[in-house]
Structure 1
């Protein structure tokens, strides 16, 4: 379990395009490219996952599992 006090000092950096930042911060919609906000959320989520779950962020070799 991760305690909130240890997370308060941690930072995460995510590189977003201007349109992605607008879509996340102001909820702007871009009819010509509706995937912008989805891509921005994906980038933020991936960055958080890598920060919070460092050991589990490795790719699982499913073909090696005996199932």
Structure 2
């Protein structure tokens, strides 16, 4: 059950990122934010045992970290 929930979260996040990036060529910073949000959401989901709040919180923190890391 946990693996299925994590897999659904990953696929949903990747679908959202790919849909948003289809509008044009993303900048390095946009890719960093998207990647950070996906990885943070997955980590937040795993750490909190599938909690929605943990997934959203992890995605938010991951997006912020991805933004900072991808700055020139």
Whichever of the two has the greater Rg, that structure is 1
- TM-score, structure 1 normalization: 0.43
Q: Which has the higher contact order (CA 8 A, sep 6+)?
A: 2
Normalising by structure 2, report the TM-score. Answer: 0.41
User: If each structure's helix is expressed as a fraction of its own residues, which one has the higher value?
Assistant: 2
